[in-house]
Amino acid sequence: MKFAPGAAVKVRDDWPEARGPVHIRTPHYLRGRQGTVVRHLGDFANPEDLAFARPASRLPLYHVAFAPEGIWPGGGADLLVEVFEPWLQPI
């Protein structure tokens, strides 16, 4: 586990779907956005590999909170999203 609760993170601004067939479980509207780790949910098989019946390593999965400004028109409550560790960068 790389990130502790309260850690400031940024979702990688990567677009692998432009390079070929992929299964991405990270919402495109969060790429490049900053958030805060809320909790580690456990380690799970990588769904991006499972989708293609490839051997899947176990990856840490986190709840990450994002402020709604700049994501949703009109703001609102914080977004709480599950994000796998390879998609997160420390700030």
Q: 14 lies in which domain range?
A: 1-60+86-91
**What was the pLDDT predicted at 59?**
96
Q: What dihedral do alpha carbons 66, 67, 72, 74 form, nearest 10°?
A: 160
User: What stretch of H or E contains 50?
Assistant: helix 47-50
CATH of the domain at 33: 2.30.30.50
Number of structural domains found in the chain: 1
Q: How many CB atoms lie within 10 A of CB 78?
A: 14
**What was the pLDDT predicted at 75?**
72
Residue 77: inside a domain, yes or no? no
Residue 67: inside a domain, yes or no? no
The pLDDT tens digits along the chain (91 residues) read: 799 999 999 999 988 878 777 778 889 899 999 999 999 999 999 998 898 899 999 999 999 999 988 788 777 788 999 999 999 999 9
Residue 29: inside a domain, yes or no? yes
Q: What is the Cβ-side half-sphere exposure of residue 39, based on CA atoms within 13 angstroms?
A: 3
Q: What is the pTM of this model?
A: 0.88
Residue 52: inside a domain, yes or no? yes
